[in-house]
């Protein structure tokens, strides 16, 4: 490796440490607002899930911390525990944003760490948004460095790369110097964890919570002078070598120089794994186009890229969580006309319904070379006739205004049942104009029941 490749961690730090809110391009700033709004909405809904109750019952109450707020709950916690709980709650429904370059969920680990830190450090909205952008930019660049090998080996990038993103975002908010950043990333790299074998269980959202808490811890320790490996990505037996069998590549970083990758964030409008979304939408198109009677569907083929079989191909899901990672169940739900944008659709009871099970059993998932990870081709056969639709959900929205309006509707559907319609609308307005907030603590107060 050349000298440039030996300094990849440093190059990453220098690529994002100087980001300032006023210098971020308009579309990237707008996307950051979307990330914040969407995260608050999915976390409010996730705050009512059983896994959040368990975290509060087993950890929050015994610790008795009062520093930081827990979104959607009246309890307060230490900032490390608030990051943990809010991170897990935000990913509980698997309804949070995603990013193709990161191969994971960018806001899920970053924002819970940032919100807990910003509340306790007295930061304003501009500082929060700039740090969010810095964290996501670093996550995506590490994702590019890792390539596909990391995810294919079985690592859950939200838990692994997300730890780096949370550490970077918190380092930005704290204004750490170059050495502090390097030590924070070194601490993040040695704590980063998460396995894809956990998909369909409560351990998957725990990855996001642990990444948030560990990233925050890393930045706080670095501020205090705690040391770590300052070349954690490229050093021998470092993160790239051990987690992807990859070498550091200055060329990869150069391809993304000057870009704001946050603009390519993808948002979910179905409450399931994003890799099922193309199949859901293709099935929905067929249902609408042909006026399908689900009882008369004889066979369904879902063609997807082969790697999806290791992510979202639980063939006979018995729980709602498993259903979120089942191409067969998700496609059957769409063909039945079920509302896949409603988290309640993915329930244990729904997965056991005879009508759904019967149609699911007629769905065959076929790995197909040459297809992208966010493409799906669905074919149906009914009464001797055939129909086919193909969808690619990997293309970022061209119209950010339309995306914002759609996200506001999603937010209100998730937030109003927890906060009430009036308070949810107030929080929606505050998050949408977060750059004007004098204190992040005020934003978090709106995210807790009155």
The answer, yes or no, to whether residue 292 has pLDDT greater than 90, is no
Mean pLDDT of 413-431: 98
Average pLDDT over residues 17-32: 97
- The Cα 315–Cα 336 span in angstroms is 18
Please give the Cα distance from 309 to 365 (Å, whole number).
8
Q: Are residues 86 and 169 in the same domain?
A: yes
Question: Same domain for 232 and 305?
Answer: no
Q: Do 58 and 103 share a structural domain?
A: yes
What stretches of 326-420 show up as alpha helix (H) in DSSP?
327-336, 348-351, 354-360, 400-419
pLDDT tens-place string over residues 351-410: 999 999 999 999 999 999 999 999 999 999 988 789 999 999 999 999 999 999 999 999
For helices 203-223 and 157-174, give the axis angle rounded to 10 degrees: 30
| Alpha-carbon separation of residue 100 from 25, 209, 421 (angstroms) | 20, 21, 33
Whether 18 and 146 share a structural domain: yes
pLDDT tens digits, residue range 117-171? 999 999 999 999 999 999 999 999 999 999 989 999 999 999 999 999 999 999 9
* In the block, residue with structure tokens 């009430």: 420
- The predicted model gives 331-335 an average pLDDT of 96
With 60 as the cut, is the pLDDT of residue 5 above it? no
Domain co-membership, 253 together with 124: yes
Structural domain that includes position 334: 274-392
Say what the pTM is. 0.94
Mean pLDDT across 425-442:
97
Residues 409 and 373: their CA atoms lie apart, in Å, by: 27
Q: Nearest CA to 216 among 128, 115, 133, 88? A: 115
User: Same domain, yes or no, for 150 and 37?
Assistant: yes
Cα angle value 169/203/162 (rounded, 5°): 20
What's the CATH number where 362 sits? 3.30.1330.120
Could you tell me if 166 and 312 lie in one domain?
no
DSSP characters over 269-321: SSSS-GGGHHHHHHHHHHHHHHT--GGGEEEEEEEE-GGGGGTSB-SS--SHH
Say if residue 383 is in the same domain as residue 405.
Answer: no
DSSP-assigned letter for residue 360: H
CATH number at residue 243: 1.10.4100.10
If asked whether residues 228 and 338 sit together in one domain, one would say no
34 and 161, same domain (yes or no): yes
- Picking from 348, 372, 392, the residue at the C-terminal end of a domain is 392
Q: For Cα atoms 223, 226, 227, give the angle at the middle one, nearest 5 degrees.
A: 120
Total structural domains within the chain = 2
CA dihedral 86, 87, 88, 90 (to 10 degrees): 80
Cα distances (Å, whole numbers) of residue 301 to 94, 248, 295, 382, 448: 25, 40, 16, 12, 45
pLDDT bracket for residue 6 (50, 70, 90): low
Token duo for residue 355: 């009508």
| Whether residue 165 sits in one domain with residue 32 | yes
Does one domain contain both 303 and 246? no
């Amino acid at each position: 490796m050349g000298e440039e490749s030996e300094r990849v961690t440093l190059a990453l730090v220098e690529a994002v440490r100087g980001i300032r809110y006023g210098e971020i391009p308009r579309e990237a700033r707008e996307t950051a607002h979307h990330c914040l709004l969407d995260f608050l909405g999915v976390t409010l809904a996730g705050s009512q899930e059983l896994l959040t109750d368990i975290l509060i019952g087993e950890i929050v109450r015994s610790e008795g911390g009062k520093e930081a707020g827990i979104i959607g709950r009246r309890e307060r916690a230490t900032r490390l525990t608030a990051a943990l709980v809010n991170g897990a709650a935000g990913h509980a429904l698997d309804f949070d944003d995603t990013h193709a370059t990161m191969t994971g969920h960018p806001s899920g680990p970053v924002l819970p760490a940032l919100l807990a830190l910003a509340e306790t450090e007295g930061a304003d909205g501009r500082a929060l948004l700039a740090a969010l952008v810095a964290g996501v930019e670093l996550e995506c660049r590490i994702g590019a460095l890792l390539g596909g090998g990391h995810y294919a080996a079985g690592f859950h990038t939200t838990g692994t790369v997300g730890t780096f993103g949370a550490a970077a975002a918190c380092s930005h908010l704290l204004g750490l110097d170059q050495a502090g950043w390097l030590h924070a990333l070194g601490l993040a790299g040695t704590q980063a964890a998460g396995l894809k074998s956990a998909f369909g269980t409560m351990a998957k959202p725990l990855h996001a919570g642990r990444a948030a808490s560990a990233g925050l811890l890393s930045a706080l320790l670095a501020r205090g002078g705690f040391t770590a490996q300052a070349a954690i990505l490229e050093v021998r037996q470092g993160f790239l070598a051990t987690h992807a069998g990859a070498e550091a590549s200055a060329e990869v970083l150069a391809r993304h120089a000057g870009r704001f990758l946050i603009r390519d964030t993808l948002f979910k409008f179905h409450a399931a794994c994003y890799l099922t979304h193309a199949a859901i939408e293709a099935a929905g198109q067929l249902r609408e186009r042909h006026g399908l009677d689900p009882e008369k569907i004889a066979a369904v083929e879902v063609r997807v890229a082969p790697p999806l079989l290791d992510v979202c191909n639980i063939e006979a899901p018995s729980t709602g969580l498993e259903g979120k990672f089942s191409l067969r169940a998700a496609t059957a739900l769409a063909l039945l006309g079920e509302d896949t944008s409603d988290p309640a659709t993915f329930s244990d009871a729904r997965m056991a319904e005879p009508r759904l099970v019967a149609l699911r059993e007629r769905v065959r998932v076929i790995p197909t070379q040459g297809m992208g990870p966010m493409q799906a081709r669905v074919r149906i056969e009914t009464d001797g006739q055939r129909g086919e639709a193909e969808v690619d959900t990997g293309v970022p929205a061209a119209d950010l205004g339309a995306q914002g309006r759609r996200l506001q509707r999603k937010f209100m559907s998730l937030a109003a049942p927890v906060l009430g319609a009036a308070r949810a609308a107030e929080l929606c307005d505050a998050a949408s104009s977060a750059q004007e907030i004098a204190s992040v603590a005020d934003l978090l107060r709106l995210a807790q029941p009155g």
